[in-house]
């Protein structure tokens, strides 16, 4: 009876997980289907998991100016990769002394880090600092340098460092290892799951950044992908009006609905391809955080 109850419990648990998986997968498949659907069929037949009438018109409109889209892809990939690497490296190094009990400035520095979580300079002072004094506007560095260190992520990494056995650090020091060697060769490799989890979350946040382009970029070749797609989306209604008057596409129906979902796929596609490489570290990092937090 006990074994039977355990098996029934596992069946119920697995069934719940399968339902959750379906609830995540079906909307994604619906987005893919709508992006490849003909606009007329969407208006007539509604949404389906398999397109009633297959069409690439929405993607043709998204990539109507391929040079601009490719430039935005290149810019976004460049600043996302560089800023993620630098953020993980800097926060990984900063968290090490804050996790050590013999660091004399541990208290004041920790207070300064915590203080930035409660108060910030505000948008206008930040804008003046970046534009007037640092002159980062209209450069790739405006995407990379501001916001490299997150106080919340730094505290998570520091807490994970503190969970390592102190005997491990002491043994390394007895063997003659310096602090930098311990940090890079012992502590950071052992905390790779947490660093990878923080890195992936930082990467997604950077990839979805469009506000930076709105505030600091006027050169089209430096537009981020999200900002470019937002501009295209804002112009979609205008293009639809032109199509209705016959000035843009003659008598064809402008694919406004499939157009939106095609842009969603263009924006999310690269992140979906990157996630499997972080998945094992991400899951393990979240598990460690739940056990040791």
CATH of the domain at 273: 1.10.3720.10
pLDDT of residue 46: 76
Is the pLDDT at 250 greater than 70, yes or no? no
Look up residue 163 and give its DSSP letter: T
Q: What is the pTM of this model?
A: 0.77
Q: How confident is the model at residue 69 (pLDDT cuts 50, 70, 90)?
A: confident
The pLDDT tens digits of the residues spanning 261-279 come to 888 888 877 777 777 766 6
Q: Is residue 8 part of a domain?
A: yes
Whole-angstrom distance, CA of residue 28 vs CA of residue 24: 7
Same domain, 31 and 71: no
Q: Which residue has the higher pLDDT, 215 or 63?
A: 215
Is the pLDDT at 290 greater than 70, yes or no? no
Q: Is residue 209 part of a domain?
A: yes
Q: Is residue 55 part of a domain?
A: no
pLDDT of residue 82: 94
Same domain, 23 and 101: no
Same domain, 100 and 243: yes
Give the chain's end-to-end CA distance (angstroms, integer).
37
Q: Is residue 148 part of a domain?
A: yes
Same domain, 149 and 86: yes
Do residues 161 and 99 touch, judged by C-beta distance below 8 A? yes
Q: How confident is the model at residue 292 (pLDDT cuts 50, 70, 90)?
A: very low
Q: How confident is the model at residue 37 (pLDDT cuts 50, 70, 90)?
A: confident
pLDDT, average across residues 90-116: 88
Same domain, 155 and 219: yes
Q: Is residue 47 part of a domain?
A: no
Q: Which residue has the higher pLDDT, 285 or 142?
A: 142
Q: Is residue 50 part of a domain?
A: no
Same domain, 68 and 26: no
Lowest mean pLDDT: which of 51-60, 99-108, 204-213, 253-262? 253-262
Is the pLDDT at 184 greater than 80, yes or no? yes
Do residues 62 and 262 touch, judged by C-beta distance below 8 A? yes
Q: How confident is the model at residue 281 (pLDDT cuts 50, 70, 90)?
A: low
CA distances from 9 to 2, 4, 22, 23, 228 (A): 11, 9, 20, 21, 49
pLDDT, average across residues 182-205: 88
Lowest mean pLDDT: which of 53-67, 120-134, 240-254, 273-287? 240-254
* Rg (alpha carbons) of the chain, rounded to whole number: 25
The pLDDT tens digits of the residues spanning 120-165 come to 778 888 889 899 899 999 999 999 998 888 888 999 899 889 888 8
Q: Is residue 195 part of a domain?
A: yes
Our count of domains for the chain comes to 2
Same domain, 24 and 129: no
Same domain, 16 and 76: no
Same domain, 133 and 28: no
Phi, psi of 250 (to 5 degrees): 65, -130
pLDDT of residue 42: 76
pLDDT, average across residues 193-220: 89
pLDDT, average across residues 41-58: 79
The pLDDT tens digits of the residues spanning 232-242 come to 777 766 666 65
Q: Is residue 122 part of a domain?
A: yes
Q: Residue 21 sits in which domain range?
A: 2-35
Lowest mean pLDDT: which of 50-59, 106-115, 146-155, 177-186? 50-59
Same domain, 229 and 96: yes
Same domain, 10 and 125: no
Same domain, 31 and 68: no
């Amino acid at each position: 009876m006990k074994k039977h109850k355990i098996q029934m419990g596992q069946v119920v648990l697995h069934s719940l997980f399968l339902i959750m998986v379906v609830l995540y997968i079906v909307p994604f498949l619906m987005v893919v289907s709508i992006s490849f659907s003909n606009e007329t069929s969407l208006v007539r037949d509604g949404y389906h998991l398999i397109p009633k009438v297959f069409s690439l018109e929405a993607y043709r409109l998204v990539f109507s100016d391929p040079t601009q889209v490719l430039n935005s892809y290149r810019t976004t990939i460049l600043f996302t990769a560089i800023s993620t690497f630098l953020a993980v490296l800097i926060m990984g190094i900063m968290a090490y002394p804050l996790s050590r009990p013999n660091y004399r400035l541990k208290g004041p520095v920790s207070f300064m880090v915590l203080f930035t979580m409660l108060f910030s300079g505000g948008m206008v002072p930040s804008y003046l600092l970046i534009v007037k004094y640092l002159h980062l506007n209209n450069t790739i560095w405006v995407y990379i340098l501001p916001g490299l260190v997150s106080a919340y992520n730094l505290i998570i990494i520091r807490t994970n460092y503190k969970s390592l056995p102190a005997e491990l650090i002491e043994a390394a020091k007895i063997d003659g290892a310096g602090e930098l060697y311990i940090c890079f060769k012992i502590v950071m490799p052992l905390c790779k799951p947490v660093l990878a989890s923080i890195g992936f979350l930082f990467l997604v946040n950077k990839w979805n950044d469009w506000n930076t382009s709105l505030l600091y970029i006027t050169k089209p070749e430096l537009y981020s992908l999200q900002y470019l797609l937002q501009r295209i989306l804002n112009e979609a209604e205008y293009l639809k009006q032109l199509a209705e008057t016959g000035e843009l596409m003659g008598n064809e129906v402008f694919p406004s609905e499939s157009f939106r979902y095609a842009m969603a796929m263009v924006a999310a596609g690269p992140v979906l391809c990157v996630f499997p490489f972080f998945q094992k570290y991400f899951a393990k990092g979240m598990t460690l955080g739940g056990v040791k937090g």
